[in-house]
Structure 1
């Protein structure tokens, strides 16, 4: 799996217990062999994009607070593709 998508999957795992859409997105990552984040983002529907947008923003902020620049950078790559 693409390293960036691995970070994303790990971030989503923190949300799947509480949100059905997050679970759907997580399952897409698990069940498909995406070549990269661009291919993954194109496979999202509107609702999934909106939920992922919020999750990634929160996860990027958390990574910055924890001084995990690598994680913040990787998640930001997906975030930029959502628009």
Structure 2
């Protein structure tokens, strides 16, 4: 699995008990055989895109506050593709 998608999957795992959109996204990543985050983003519905837009803003900021620059950078790669 591509590294950025692995970070995204790990992030989404924190939300699977709270939101069915997260579960759907996790299944897409695990079963979709996406070669890149761009391929995943192209398959997102509006609802999924909006969901990621909201949680990634918070998760990127959290990673920066924890001084986990690599995680912040990887998640930001997905975030930038959402627009």
Alpha-carbon distance, 1:55 to partner = 1.1
Q: Give the unaligned 5+ runs of structure 1.
A: none
Q: Give the unaligned 5+ runs of structure 2.
A: none
1:28-43 correspondence to structure 2 within 5 Å = 28-43=28-43
Which residue is equivalent to 1:8? 8
How many residues of Structure 1 are paired with residues of Structure 2 in the alignment?
A: 83
* CA displacement, residues 10-68 of structure 1 (integer Å, 9 cap, x when unaligned): 00000011001111111100111101010000010000000011111111011001000
Q: Distance in 2 between matches of 1:57 and 1:27?
A: 22
Which residue is equivalent to 1:50? 50
Q: Distance in 1 between matches of 2:12 and 2:58?
A: 11
Structure 1 runs of 4+ with >3 Å offset:
none
Q: Distance in 2 between matches of 1:42 and 1:20?
A: 20
Q: Distance in 1 between matches of 2:30 and 2:58?
A: 22
Residue 15 of structure 2 aligns to a residue whose secondary structure is coil
Question: What RMSD over aligned residues (CA atoms) do the two structures have, in Å?
Answer: 0.5
Which residue is equivalent to 2:76? 76
